[in-house]
Amino acid sequence: MQKKQREWLEQWKRFKDSSLFLFQEWIHPNRLEDFQGKRVLDAGCGHGHHALMAARYAEKVVGVDLNAAEVARAETKDLSNIEIVEADLAAMDFREPFDVVYCIGVIHHTDDPDRTFENLKRLTRKGGRLIVWAYSHEGNWLNRVPLETLKRIFLLRLPTGMLVSLSYVLTLLIHPLVWTVYLLPLRFLPYYEYFENWRILPFGKNVQNVFDKLNAPQTDFIRRERIERWFSPADFREVHISPYKGVSWRGSGTKR
């Protein structure tokens, strides 16, 4: 049973994420229009930002979060077709399976991503679509080794306010590089593709992205063979697996 982690509640109390562009990129090649009239599960809904986007199309959206359900309820209270549930993604259960299940940026932060995926698969109806976006092992050495080590030793001991301040400082320091060196055709540079999005997104969103990296209490970076195993042809058809910006995986499939 996964324990609650206060870091996530603190994050979603302080940051809002209304980036429709990113959500559409992360669920690709699936589209929000594909949710039309369907019963949708938002697994790891945070403060409810993606649930609000999905609810424009879906008949019903059930958002599940173990840590920030109270924030999500407040954010989504004006939409009658959204229900927020507090539960562990690896253990949650519902009477009916869902037409669409998506887990965006969350499965790699769970205690057991494999167990979590199996439960998400179980909650996807036959012929339904399961969508996952997760941090990749590939292309993430700086996050996997030096940053994760620094977090365990020091960063996760800091008060949340100090982490927020540090995130602003780091974002300010990174921005000049993104708009100078990273404009050159030097694709061997770390996070070259990733920083393309920095030039599109507002400053506040980039601060949130930095904070997310510093604040996450645990991260399991997913190898390609692992996500391919999740979306096994024995269990899924119409499978799509693709890298996103060199630091994450987009995976989806229709359950057999």
Instruction: Quote the pLDDT of residue 16.
Output: 82
Q: What is the dihedral sign for C-alpha 255, 246, 193, 41? A: positive
Q: What are the residue ranges in the chain where pLDDT is below 70? A: none
Instruction: Quote the pLDDT of residue 91.
Output: 96
Instruction: Quote the pLDDT of residue 2.
Output: 83
For the entire predicted model, the pTM comes to 0.96
Instruction: Quote the pLDDT of residue 211.
Output: 96
**CATH number corresponding to 6-137+220-255:** 3.40.50.150
Query: Where do the domains of the chain lie?
Result: 6-137+220-255, 141-215
